Amino acid sequence: MNSIVIMGVAGCGKSSLGAAVARATGLPLVEGDDHHSASNVDKMQSGVPLTDADRDGWLATLCDQLRTQPQGVVMTCSALKHAYRTRLRTAAPGIKFVFMDITRENAQSRVAARAHAHIFPPMLVDSQFATLESPVGEPGVLRVDALSPLSQLQAEVTTWLAHEEAE
């Protein structure tokens, strides 16, 4: 099975859907946030948006994770820019992306609700939308409504993956 990236802006539900898809497929889960450098975490917690340069080492680490697990993984990663997705595709040819589409208002609300327990502060949500280059229309991308129930999202993704694998 190919690897899959659950992507989108902060607050869309990447971690929840990633864990559900990993359980359903039996693939290991790689939580992208766990691989940020200490300096990146410090910047985010201070309300400073990450730059392409900040994300470079993080993306390199995630690419290494993909290369060292050729059996496939479920990875959570914002993958906000086309260039970031291209790097991940180079590391794992055939990789699929699930784009968790959400409005700015709903993302803001979700991030604010979890602010006490997460590295990403609500003040950075706007920067995520400013950076986002929609993957809709790229090959190997499924767009889902981030506000759908988790069980529905998991079923939608695993059905799509099974269909993609059969082709």
pLDDT tens, residue by residue, 97-112: 999 999 999 998 988 8
Residue 28: phi, psi to the nearest 5?
-70, 150
Number of H helices, E strands in the chain: 7, 5
Cα(45)–Cα(49) distance, integer angstroms: 9
Architecture of domain 4-166 in this structure: 3-Layer(aba) Sandwich (3.40)
* pLDDT score at 7: 97
- Smallest Cα–Cα separation from 153: which of 20, 57, 11? 20
In sequence order, the 6+-apart residues with CB closer than 8 A to the CB of 140 are 89, 94, 95, 96, 97, 164
Q: How far is CA 84 from the centre of its chain?
A: 11
Residue pLDDT, tens place only, 13-54? 999 999 999 999 999 999 988 887 777 777 877 777 778 888
Task: Give the pTM.
Answer: 0.90
Using DSSP, state whether 79 is helix, strand or coil.
coil
pLDDT at 132: 95
Q: How far apart, in Å, are the Cα atoms of 33 and each of 137, 162, 163, 166, 167?
A: 26, 27, 29, 31, 32
